[in-house]
Structure formats: structure tokens, C-alpha cells
Amino acid sequence: MSQANIIGVGMTRFGKYPESHLADIAWPAVKSALADAGIEPGAIQAAYCGSALGGMMVGQSILARIGMTGIPITNVENACSSSSTALQQAVMAVRAGKYDTVLVIGAEKLTALGGGTLPLNEDDWEASQGMVMPALYAMRAMRYMHDYGLTREQLALVSVKNRANGAKNPDAQMQKPVTVEEVLASRPVADPFTLLQCCPTGDGAAAIIVASDKAAKKYAGKHPIRVLASDLTSGRFTPGFRDMTSPEITVRGSAEAYEEAGVGPQDINLAEVHDAFSIAELIYYEAFGFCARGEAGAFLESGASAINGKVAVNPSGGLLAKGHPVGATGAAQVVEVVRQLRGECGARQVPDAKVGLTHATGGGLAGFDHGACSIHILAR
């Protein structure tokens, strides 16, 4: 069995491109990843494309722009985990020996929806009664504050940290640092969240070239990044009590990923986690074992999750600052971790980064923590 390696990455800066077709937002990311790997388009054997709301045949429409058709193209929809699931499929195909060179794309154009909260399935019991994603995360936050004494200021600090990181990332949608006071004074969305504690709506794309050991030797102009773990799981339905302060899908997924990689939380130098709302990042510190249950607020305040801290969390700015064009998010997290592991991140570079992880979870469904979760652990 071959290992899977990442030999090239690229992305289109997250932002608002209402006048552009999704394919035109995405193809530059593909070309950039190909150039980064030093591989010619004709050498790519298959493509997996993640998009949640882009409609049918997103992968074909992107690759038709740049003469890359005639290969197997698989379109993947798994809500906010769409392109991380696409990567998981690509890694599986390379490890199985089916392909030596695979392209992964994540692409989304949320401005096509006209703004507001993400549309959920109308036939979902809770969505039909007014459930929206900010409300789901807000209830997690309210319970966490009740159980562990987390303050509104500590919650706001997540946005402050990630906006500061995003200001150092040219690919981030939000480029302006903010203060705790500004976060708390922004307009209320779902108590305890104010606007600056919610990820922005936007468009964007990211691309990754996955290669077998053989192909990595042939093409990688830069040091290939090894995929130590590629995990995908789904949420477990429960009609009864559920501890909303501990995300069962991520707790389970992180244990699976650590086991596959043969590493533990102490080995992780940086993590791109799914901070769709401020509380999420805090809950994920605990789910990944970066700190103990109930200690996330203090962990953040101590600077342990800052770029120079014990584990740099969301050095790219995360979903809160880099943006969250949902289907593109998982692939873009991988772009950041690969660049960090290669030492290419300039002002936001995590010192001596050796091992990093990405985590994209998605899907608001009644009875679930989330519908899908995909975690990757990468090493240089």
C-alpha cells in the first residue's frame, strides 16, 4: 500500500464574487495547485470535487474551463465537510493503488444564495420550526457558559485571535483585526453570539494534488507532505439527552484520526478547526485533547492557542476570518496546513511546524451533533 502525499496546493482568496461563475472562481485554484506541484494537467488521473450548494457537475464545469476533462470526476456533497470528504476519497484511492495522481477541489459560491443563514433541509423537523445554524451553536454556547462559567469576553476572544491571524493571511476574506469591545458591540445574531462571532458568507475555492510515493518522488518540486490520517465519520442520531458541550462526532473522529496517525494531541503543532461560530473553536480544543474539559476559555486566554502558543489553532484566521464558503472550507484548511508545514506563511508562520491537523464538520440535522466530520493529520 502506498502512502498518500500532498505535493501541491492552491486557493482562490475567500471573498465575495457575485459576478463570477463558480467555475471561474475555482479554476485558478486548480492551476495554482498544479503549478505548485510542478505537474502537468495531463498527468492527473482523477478528480474529486466537493461543493455543498453548487449544484450538479461542479467538478466537470470547473475542469472543462482548463482542458482537464476525460478523467474520472467524482462530485462530493457532505455539507461543510464536502471537500474534506473529497480529500478522504482521494487519499483512499491513492492508498489503494488505484491512482498515483489525484486532484481534489473544494468550491462554493454562497453569494448566489443572497445572504442570510445557510439554508437547511426544509423537511427537517427542527429546521421547519425555525432552527438555523447560529441557533444550534448558540445553544451549545449557552450550555457551556452555564456548565463551566465561560464568560462573554472569553467567547469574544476567539474572534479577536482569529481576526488577528486573518489580517496576516492574504487569502482571508476578513482582513481587519477587531477588539473584544468591538466584537461584543456588533449586532446580536443569536444570544450569546454577536455578528463578529459568526463566520461570514462568501465565495472561494481551494485545490490539492494528492500523490502516491512514486509520483511524489517524480513531481514534488517542494518537500511532499505526508497524510498520516484521513478520517471520515457521520454523527450518531439520538432522540434523547445529548451533552451539547462535547461534540460526540468530533470526539470520536479525533480518536480515530490519532490512532490512524500514531500521534496524540501533544504532537500537534497547529490545527485548522471548524470555528463556524466562536464557541465551536473552544469546544474543539477539548474534543482534540489540547486541554481538559471545561478549560478551553482559560487555555485561549493563556495564549496557548495563539500562533506562538502550545498548539496554534486556526493560524489562517479560521472560518471566522478566512471565511467559510462551505464546500471549499475543508480543502482550504489543508492548503493552510501544507503551507505552514513547508514554512511558507510569513507573518503568521507557526514556528517549527512538523505536524498539523484539519477538521471540518458539517450538516445541521435534528437529533445529530453534526451530520459529517472529516479530519486529516499531515506531517512534513
Are the beta carbons of 293 and 285 closer than 8 angstroms? no
Residue 128 near another protein by CB under 8 A: yes
- Which of 213, 259, 253 has its CA nearest to residue 233? 253
With CB under 8 A as the contact rule, which of the stretches 58-66, 239-247, 294-302, 369-377 interacts with another protein?
A: 239-247
Whether omega before 134 lies within 30 degrees of 0, making that bond cis, reads no
Q: For residue 246, what is its C-alpha cell?
A: 462535547
State the minimum distance, in angstroms, from the CB of residue 179 to another protein: 22
Give the single-character DSSP code of 81: T
136-165 residues near another protein, rule: CB under 8 A: 138-143, 146
| Among positions 65, 218, 222, 242, the unique one binding another protein when judged by CB under 8 A | 242
Amino acid, res. 124: D
Region at 121 (left for phi over 0; alpha for psi -120 to 50; beta for the rest)? beta
Based on CB atoms, which residue is closest to another protein, 57 or 139?
139
Residue choice 132, 156, 216, 378 for contact with another protein (CB under 8 A): 132
DSSP letters spanning 269-327: SEEE---SBHHHHHHHHHHTTSS-TT-HHHHHHTTTTSTTSSSEE-TT-HHHHT---HH
Closest to 104 (Cα-Cα) out of 12, 172, 9: 9
Q: How far is the C-alpha of 235 from the C-alpha of 298, rounded, in Å?
A: 28
Q: Which residues pair with 5 in a beta bridge?
A: 211, 226
Pick from 331, 317, 274, 371: nearest CA to 58: 331
Question: How many other C-beta atoms lie within 10 A of the C-beta of residue 161?
Answer: 27
Q: State yes or no: is 198 an active-site residue.
A: no
Residues in the chain, total: 380
Binding residues for another protein, rule CB under 8 A, total: 33
134 interacts with another protein by CB under 8 A: yes
Q: From the CB of 143, what's the least distance to another protein, in Å? A: 4
- Helix (H) or strand (E) run with residue 48 in it: strand 46-50
Looking at 237, 292, 303, 347, which residue binds another protein (CB under 8 A)? 237
Exactly one of 56, 114, 123, 241 binds another protein (CB under 8 A); which one? 241
Q: Segment near another protein (CB under 8 A), from 130-138, 285-293, 304-312, 316-324?
A: 130-138
Least CB distance from residue 112 to another protein, whole Å?
Answer: 19
Write down the least CB distance from residue 25 to another protein, Å: 26
**Candidate list 69, 238, 302, 308; residue touching another protein; CB under 8 A:** 238
- Least distance to another protein from the beta carbon of 4, Å? 35
Q: Among residues 49, 80, 291, 345, which one is catalytic? A: 80
- Subset of 176-195 contacting another protein (CB under 8 A): 187-192
Residue 131 in the binding site for another protein (CB under 8 A): yes
DSSP category for residue 12? E
Least spacing, CB of residue 141 vs another protein, in Å: 8
367 sits near another protein (criterion: CB under 8 A): yes
Q: Does 366 interact with another protein (rule: CB under 8 A)?
A: yes
118 binds another protein (CB under 8 A): no
80: DSSP letter: B
Give me the residues that bind another protein (CB under 8 A), please: 116-117, 125-126, 128-132, 134-135, 138-143, 146, 187-192, 237-242, 244, 366-367
Active site residues: 80
